[in-house]
Amino acid sequence: MTGLDLKDKRILVTGGAGFLGRQVVRELCEAGADEQKITVVRSREYDLRSMEACQKVVQNQDVIVHLAAHVGGIGLNREKPGELFYDNLMMGVQLIHAAYQAGVEKFVCVGTICAYPKFTPVPFKEDDLWNGYPEETNAPYGVAKKALLVQLQSYRQQYGFNGVYLLPVNLYGPDDNFDPRSSHVIPALIRKVHEAQVRGDKQLPVWGDGSPSREFLYVDDAARGIVMATQFYDEADAVNLGTNYEITIRDLVELICELMGFEGEIVWETDQPNGQPRRCLDTERAKEKFGFTAQMEFKQGLKNTIDWYRQHAE
């Protein structure tokens, strides 16, 4: 498979200092990119909600991988829907436009599984993306990110701009965000179980009723998929990145408790929201178009994440 030779490319990675971004930078180097030619944008240096900042960072770049996002779990989405909509829309729209104006060769945009409709036939196929409104708790974030797909497709049509759009499922792995105010389900549960064990609690309260299902992609696999798409995918259609393995929240909680040795009672807080009923991706397009399949077995990935957290927990 011949694709984009990264060796001499100047590559900008927004969000490159984050959980996923660090792995993407590592994978880019493994795929032949020169580390000296990779620029990582940090929010404290450049506020990408500003057009001026976007215009500065895209200058003299050949490839842009846009990972930067303002993101969190159900709690943050309920608390700050306006902020999540505005920040993600403005960062993406202006960066894409500035990249087009600057003559950037390729733009890789990482979207979100939250863009899918609340009720989507399982497994989610990319062609179902527009068949309904996203789940209410994270719709503002999902719609903002989905607008970037429309922008890339319209810029491709009108200007011949090579922008691709990827839809990774929920990520997890070592070095994830374990902050309870903004973390996603796996790091949130690992921290919750660990702290319950430290306190000697006999009960573990968990939001919802445990019935929703989720799919999780190990961060190393996600980074490899993003880099493979950077090298080998040049089409307008969105592409899922996932494992095609679905687990209920109830089974997930029980598995984490088992791996961590927590023997107390799980108490389901059924007055709290469940989120989207089911999430599982059809992963055929990524396999067919650029040869990506996930490699990490889920239980092993969880063990790696738990081990990392226990080593780094205060």
Residue partners of 176: CB distance under 8 A and separation at least 6: 19, 183, 184, 186, 187, 219, 305
309 is known as an active-site residue: no
213 within 8 A of 276, measured Cβ to Cβ: no
Ramachandran class of 208: left when φ > 0, alpha when ψ lies in -120 to 50, beta otherwise? left
Catalytic residue among 46, 86, 133, 141: 141
CA 81 to CA 29: how far, in whole Å?
Answer: 36
Pair of tokens at residue 289: 């178009």
How many C-beta atoms lie closer than 10 Å to residue 287's C-beta? 13
Q: What one-letter code names the amino acid at 261?
A: G
Q: Which position has the token pair 């000697």?
A: 200
Residue 9 to residue 22: CA distance in whole angstroms: 18
158-176 b/e (C-beta count within 10 Å ≥ 16 → b): eeebbbbbbbbbbbbbbbb
- What sign does the dihedral 174-180-183-189 (CA atoms) show? positive
Q: Which residue in 148, 135, 150, 18 sits closest to 77, CA to CA? A: 135
**CA–CA gap between residue 226 and residue 228 (Å, rounded):** 5
Give catalytic residues, as residue numbers.
141
